[in-house]
A and B are shown apart, each in its own frame.
Chain A
Amino acid sequence: MSKLTPAIEIEDLWFSYDKTPVLKEVSFTLEQGNYMAILGPNGGGKTTLLRLMLGILKPDRGTIRVLGLMPKEARDRLGYVPQSTEINLSFPISVFDLVLTGRLSRSRIGRRYTSTDRGKVETILEKVGMLKYRHWPIGQLSGGQRQRIFIARALATEPSILFLDEPTASVDPEFEVGLYEFLEELNREVTIVIITHDVGVISRHVKSVACVNRTLIFHGAAKITQEMVDMAYHCPVDLVAHGIPHRVLPEHEE
């Protein structure tokens, strides 16, 4: 696919669960190679938007194109790190086998994993620093370690776009720093879309920001405007607490 095809192209997207509207009039275009953060309050529709882009949910109205294709058609080229890694902790599966499921695809159903698959998984485990845990059952890892495994699983799909849903929600700060450095390096080859609460991180690493609260405001540059803050949060304290050294934000009165 040429570099000219946008990674994500959304036009006038509407979505509701049953009768409750969640997203409306969402439109934006994200170029390949971008690194976009999605900000917004809880229940604002961030995860829903992600699930729409992955083709897990279908929009009520509007179009989504991922790499120029319908989300379902583009799935083979999308990596996904879900929000919760707490699922199925007692499941009898080893780290290696779990990451190996990232090598699954529609075209290879019913066939065995090849040695290429195994080799790739080992390389990726090495990359996220988890190779020595490859025989461990998943339930015995710490939250941060599990997060790495889920990222490894997403990378094993060799994605063109990597989606992450609050990957630092339950991990230690040390891992957080490492993760963002890792993602920045990864971004040289892969488009990244990340949902996060951490505004501080955004200013240092990402290339563009989208604020989602029912609708979406897209900013090509990683600038956080007052408008976005007002929409995303109801109080600027959130921002100040996280600390953004290079930007001075205007106070706003409640």
Chain B
Amino acid sequence: MAGVLVSVACGVVGTLVVVNRIVFVSGGIAHAAYGGIGLALFTGLPPTLGAGIFSVGASLIMGAVSLRSRHRTDTVIGVVWAVGMAIGVVLVDLSPGYHVDLMSYLFGSILAVPKSDLWFMLPLDLVIVFTVLIFFKEFLAISYDEEFALVRGIPVNALYMALFCMIGFSVVMIIRIVGLILVIALLSIPPYIAEKFTSSLGTMMVLSTLFGILFTILGLWISFSFNLTSGAAIILVAGAAFFLSLAVERIGGSGLRQNVEEYTR
């Protein structure tokens, strides 16, 4: 169930992340979220809430910086990434007690997701899906050609910030499943594979959601059968699919194209 909810977020937001080429922004956000987990441990807040605050905060910082000075975005990603992580490590050091639970935030543990977390994932999912549904054509326009969208009077900056917020939301959810280290994979692999099958952003979102669900279920099954860490198993399934899709493209690369040509004839 958690897997499905997360896959929806991954499919929708991941698609936007991939076509906007900001995969590493999401990586940065995920690692910065560790600071929030540290904060939560230190203050006794629920870790998911701490991670949520930090990841949305990090998203907003990155969003603001990348809008202002685009050519320095990568540097800022690096800084936020490392500083967030460092804050987390220091706060965990400062917190009393022994934290066996931390591993589950680094590598995820879908089976340990409590019911209460489902109730917080569902509204986040709904927010993401509805935002994208309502502003779909605007998101499409700014992702393809930001300048043209600006000339059309679309509030490009506001939409970008909204996108960054949604990345923040999804990252918090994905952390529960595969852990913050592996977030990038689940956000980028399903959309990347989906992109090969379609020339429409909407279809890409639906397909990558389905891929996400498939990878999660397969990964879970493997982790059950062989007693492996579930997050890593899911990512390995996704990774295998990724390389398989590359190989298929190599061999039958012109197949898709021919279909399109026949269709238009």
B199 near A137: Cβ-Cβ < 8 Å: yes
A82-B145, A87-B145, A136-B264 known; A54 and B151 CB under 8 Å? yes
Given contacts A54-B151, A87-B144, A153-B148, 11 further A-B contacts (CB under 8 A): A56-B150, A80-B147, A91-B19, A91-B143, A92-B19, A97-B201, A101-B152, A104-B137, A104-B154, A109-B154, A136-B264
Chain A 28-64, CB-CB to B under 8 Å as 1, else 0, gives 0000000000000000000000000011100000000
B147 near A82: Cβ-Cβ < 8 Å: yes
Assembly CA distance A106 to B151 (angstroms): 10
A97 near B200: Cβ-Cβ < 8 Å: yes
B126-155 with Cβ < 8 A to chain A: 134-135, 137-138, 140-141, 143-145, 147-155
Question: Which chain A residue has the least Cβ–Cβ distance from B197?
Answer: A92
The listed residue (B140, B155, B204, B264) touching A101 by CB distance below 8 A is B140
Give every chain B residue within 8 A of A72 (Cβ-Cβ).
Answer: 153
A97, chain B: closest CB distance, angstroms: 7
In the assembled complex, A146 has its CB within 8 A of some CB on chain B: no
Give every chain A residue within 8 A of B138 (Cβ-Cβ).
Answer: 104, 109-110
In the assembled complex, B195 has its CB within 8 A of some CB on chain A: yes
B151, chain A: closest CB distance, angstroms: 5
B148 near A136: Cβ-Cβ < 8 Å: no
A56-B147, A133-B264 known; A93 and B140 CB under 8 Å? yes
Give every chain A residue within 8 A of B43 (Cβ-Cβ).
Answer: none
In the assembled complex, A226 has its CB within 8 A of some CB on chain B: no
In the assembled complex, B250 has its CB within 8 A of some CB on chain A: no
In the assembled complex, A27 has its CB within 8 A of some CB on chain B: no
In the assembled complex, A140 has its CB within 8 A of some CB on chain B: yes
In the assembled complex, B257 has its CB within 8 A of some CB on chain A: yes
Assembly CA distance A184 to B198 (angstroms): 37
A93 near B151: Cβ-Cβ < 8 Å: no
Question: Which chain A residue has the least Cβ–Cβ distance from B134?
Answer: A110
Question: Which chain A residue has the least Cβ–Cβ distance from B19?
Answer: A91
What are the 5 closest A-B residue pairs judged by CB atoms, nearest first? A106-B153, A137-B199, A101-B141, A104-B152, A110-B134
In the assembled complex, B98 has its CB within 8 A of some CB on chain A: no
In the assembled complex, A113 has its CB within 8 A of some CB on chain B: yes
B198 near A92: Cβ-Cβ < 8 Å: yes
In the assembled complex, B263 has its CB within 8 A of some CB on chain A: yes
B151 near A92: Cβ-Cβ < 8 Å: no
A94 near B199: Cβ-Cβ < 8 Å: yes
In the assembled complex, A88 has its CB within 8 A of some CB on chain B: yes
Give every chain A residue within 8 A of B155 (Cβ-Cβ).
Answer: 106, 109
In the assembled complex, B251 has its CB within 8 A of some CB on chain A: no
Size of chain A's interface in residues, with CB distance under 8 A?
38
List residues of chain A with CB under 8 Å of any chain B CB: 54-56, 72, 75-76, 78, 80, 82, 87-88, 90-94, 97-98, 100-102, 104-107, 109-110, 112-113, 132-133, 135-138, 140, 153, 157
A248, chain B: closest CB distance, angstroms: 41
21 pairs, CB–CB < 8 Å, chain A vs chain B: A56-B151, A76-B153, A90-B195, A91-B144, A93-B201, A97-B200, A97-B201, A101-B152, A104-B141, A104-B154, A105-B153, A106-B154, A109-B154, A110-B138, A112-B137, A113-B137, A132-B264, A135-B260, A138-B199, A140-B260, A157-B152
Question: Which chain B residue has the least Cβ–Cβ distance from A138?
Answer: B199
B19 near A101: Cβ-Cβ < 8 Å: no
Assembly CA distance A124 to B134 (angstroms): 26
Assembly CA distance A146 to B41 (angstroms): 54
Give every chain A residue within 8 A of B143 (Cβ-Cβ).
Answer: 91
Question: Which chain A residue has the least Cβ–Cβ distance from B196?
Answer: A92
Question: Which chain A residue has the least Cβ–Cβ distance from B153?
Answer: A106
A88-B145, A93-B199, A93-B201 known; A109 and B135 CB under 8 Å? yes
Assembly CA distance A102 to B148 (angstroms): 8
A75-B151, A101-B141, A104-B154 known; A110 and B135 CB under 8 Å? yes
A82-B145, A110-B135, A133-B264 known; A93 and B200 CB under 8 Å? yes
Give every chain B residue within 8 A of A98 (Cβ-Cβ).
Answer: 144
A92-B201, A140-B257 known; A101 and B135 CB under 8 Å? no
B28-83 with Cβ < 8 A to chain A: none
The listed residue (A75, A82, A113, A135) touching B152 by CB distance below 8 A is A75
A90-B195, A110-B135 known; A105 and B152 CB under 8 Å? yes
Give every chain B residue within 8 A of A54 (Cβ-Cβ).
Answer: 151
Give every chain B residue within 8 A of A104 (Cβ-Cβ).
Answer: 137-138, 141, 149, 152-154
